[in-house]
Each structure stands twice: as C-alpha cells, then as structure tokens.
Amino acid sequence: MLQKLYFQQIWILIAVLFILNSGCQDPLTVGNDLLDDQKINIGVIDSFDITTATIPGERVVTHRPNVDSRLYYLGQMNDPLFGKTSAELFLKFQMGTVKPNYHTEVRLKFDSLVLTLQYDSTAIYGNTTGNQQIEVFQSENSYSERDTFYSDVNFTVSSRSIASQSKGINIKDSVSITDHITKNPIKQAPHLRIRLNDGFGMGLITNVEAGKNDTAFVDFMKGFKITSTPTDNNSFLYGFNLSNSGLNAQGSLNKLTMYYSVASGDTTLRKTYEYFINYATINRFVHNTSGSQLANVLRDTSLANGLTYLQPMGGSKTVIRIKDLNKLSDKQINKAELTVYIAEPTGKEFYNSPPSQITAAYKLSNGRLALIPDIDQLVNSNTNFAPVFGGSLDNRTTVHKYTMNITNHIKSVLKDKNHSPDLYLGILTESEVAQRAILYGGKHGLYPIKLRVTHTKN
C-alpha cells in the first residue's frame, strides 16, 4: 500500500514539473480558430504583394419571384468622381378582389387619377435640395411577375408621357391634402404624389371591360415607367419601401387611386377606387462614367493601385490580387485578416457616407462570381455573417476602414490550386443601396490594403 502511494506521488510530481516547464516558453494567445485561452507560439506575416484594379460592374437582379426586396430608387447622381447614375422605376398594377363599380354609374364625373409612393427615410443619397422633373410613361407591353428582371431592363414605352411635373422632394416632411370624401384637410406620411393626365384617367374610368375583367385591365394598364431628373444639377437619389408588406399594409400610401363623383338627386357623392401596385416592381440603373475620375481608372488600370472605386446598383467593383500567397504553403493558418482603408476625396458634396457593409467574392472556373467560403458557409446556414466575416464600416478611427476575415478563402487557395486567390469587393444587397466608396489601393503610399496572416510556428 505504501509503495502504491509512493508511485502516485512520483507521477503527480512529474506532471507538475511538466506543466511548469511548459509555461516558461513565452506563449501568445490566438483567437478565431482556436480557443481564446489556448496558449501556443504563433507567427505573423503581413508583407504581401497586393495590387488592385477597378472593373465595370455587372447587372444586378432587381426583381426575382418569391424574393421580397424592399428599397427601390428614383433620381440621378452626376458628379466628377463616378459620373452619372440614373435610377428608373417600372411598376404594374392590379385590381383587388372587389372590382370597381364606377362603370355602372349613370351620372358619373371623373375627378383625377393619382399615383402615390411612400418615401423610405433610409433611402436617400446626395444633395437633397432642389427640384426634380418627374415623368411617367405607359409601357407598350405588359410583363410577368413570374419572371426575373435585371437592372439593365428597358421596356418599350410610349413616346409621350402621361404625367410630367416639377417638384421638390422632401423625404421627411408630411404631405397636406384635402380629403376627397369629406373635403377636410388631412396630413399624410411623406410621399411622392403624381397626378396622371386627365385623358389617361378618363380612358380608364370609361373602359367598361377594364373595370370588370383582370385581363382587360392589365391589357389597358400594362405598366408605368417613372423617371426623375434634377432640374438644377443637384445630384439626388431617393427611394421607396415597396416590399410586399409596404405594398399591402393597412393604410399603405403605395397605390393608384381613382377619384370621381356621382350625382344622386340633389346631392353629389364623392367616391374613390384604389388599385394595388403589383409585387413585380423593377429598378433600372444606367451608368455613364464619361469625363469622371472613375473613367480614368477604368482606362488606366495602374491608377487603381492608388485609388480604387466601389459602386452599387451594378456599378464598378474593386479587384484585389494577392500575388505571393505561396509563402504560406508550409504554414498552419490560424487567421487571415484583410484591411481596406476608405479615401476621403475632395468634393465631399458628391460623396456622402460609404456603404455600411461590403462583401468579398472570388471567380469560379466558369467565370461567375461566388461569395468566398467565409461568407458562403454562414449564409447557407442562415447565420448573420457580419460578426464573423466583418466587412462592416469602421468609422472609429481618423481613416475609416473595412476589416474582413478571409481565413477560409486563404486556406482554400492553399489547398486547391483551382480556387482563385483574387477577391472581388462588392456591396451587400447592392440593388437596394445608393452609397458608394473610394478606397485606397494596394500600393497607396500611406494606407495600402493590408493582409495580416497569423500562423502556428513549426
């Protein structure tokens, strides 16, 4: 018994000496892939050959069946940095389950046909003062909400507008109107209010079949194209909440309203009928970089190593090329972190705030872009990727920046020779974002793009 106790004490002593000896080797703490309190020796490599390029963007989806997008834009940005970007809107309409009965009235008098679109206070970019010239055109052909539409869509429309008006856009001020039924003054939430030509309204209210039959109604209406351009050269993009809930919510201002009255004996009954906006709302984005700084960078690719451009709505993208990742081939990667700094160019009146969230993609063998594994794995598991990947705007320092965890992307490059190392920076949900950014490039003298890789020492 004493002998057994003696050997137990010897083994405990050996274990204690081993732990004390291990604790004298200057440990560091590694996060992310390892436990926070795990102590190991690590190394850091942060000197990589990084270059950048600015490339034209690709069209983006602005309507996909069964996908509920929220923000849709109108307006135009025109500045010496990015050039001209225009946002146009296509809408189509439908009757409710209760059809109008104005075609049955005998002593009917048409009043007006008015389109209202409620502003979204989060969808505003540029110089918000000044007037916009707003025009509405009727589509010559209808389109199906079951189809997918991209930002380069351009339906054929009538050459003459069915509404044209110049007005100031105030996305935050309530709108005062006279209630058609009661004739009392009322205030409504901030919205765009467009009165269509009386000739078009009369054509609808007198079309008996279009008031009774959905097919005849769609054949008459087909759809609208809405444009908005500044009358005083002030760049301005503004938007609306046209999500499914924004279209069918109780009291929604997103609708087309027919106002009319009916004479009944010695009295006049004032009435309305509301048409719904169909879920198939589409944005068209048009980019023209002529004469801009962006055009110079697209023409001379070496300039992007100083400043590179990132633009939503199918605009320009930034490509980051890391040329010497082979120096990591014999390393056990713990974490790879990419930092991109935001430039503050002159002419801030055209610039405004940069996007709050960016993404990173790589090119597949078929030429298509796919989100890097650090994002894709989380998206596929319905997990918010921002806390892990990063890419969120960090404005706590003098020079604002984005920091991205690209660990799994780097590991994939080292493991699979067919996995392209080039990163394509993009903007999250770019069809619903107006903010753009100018970034310091890979070879900028003060704030170059930096890759910092932490690895386990062999």
Whether residues 238 and 269 share a domain: the answer is yes
Q: Are residues 247 and 320 in the same domain?
A: no
The verdict on residue 63 lying in a domain is: no
Let me know whether 300 and 406 are in one domain. Answer: yes
**pLDDT for res 40:** 64
Task: Identify the residue with better confidence: 394 or 249.
Answer: 394
| 348 and 263 within one domain | no
* pLDDT of the residue at 264: 81
Q: In angstroms, what CA-CA distances link 200 with 93, 114, 160, 223?
A: 15, 11, 12, 13
Any domain includes 17? no
What total of structural domains would you count in the chain? 2
Dist CA 362 CA 421 (whole Å)? 7
Within-domain flag for 158: yes
pLDDT digits (tens, 9 = 90+) for 359-378: 999 999 999 999 999 999 99
What pTM value is reported for the model? 0.86
Q: How confident is the model at residue 408 (pLDDT cuts 50, 70, 90)?
A: very high
Cα 59 to Cα 65: distance, rounded to the nearest angstrom: 17
Residue 388 CB contacts under 8 Å (≥ 6 apart), including other chains: 374, 378, 405
Residues 159 and 234 in one domain: yes
Contact 302, 309 (CB under 8 A): no
pLDDT of 267 reads 85
For 327, other C-beta atoms within 10 Å of its C-beta total 12
**pLDDT tens, 248-266?**
877 889 999 999 999 987 7
Q: Kindly calculate the radius of gyration of the chain based on its CA atoms and give it in whole angstroms.
A: 30
Q: Which domain holds residue 77?
A: 70-280
Domain end residue (candidates: 280, 302, 336) = 280
Same domain, 115 and 170: yes
Cα separation values, 341 from 200, 262, 403, 446, Å: 52, 65, 9, 10
The reply to whether 332 and 372 lie within a common domain is yes
Are 188 and 177 contacting, i.e. CB atoms less than 8 angstroms apart? yes
| Listed residues 249, 280, 311: the one ending a domain | 280
Instruction: Say if residue 313 is in the same domain as residue 205.
Output: no
Whether 262 and 213 share a structural domain = yes
Residues 299 and 275 in one domain: no
Per-residue pLDDT band at 34 (split at 50, 70, 90): very low
pLDDT per position as a tens digit, 74-89:
999 998 899 999 999 9
DSSP helix/strand/coil, 129: coil
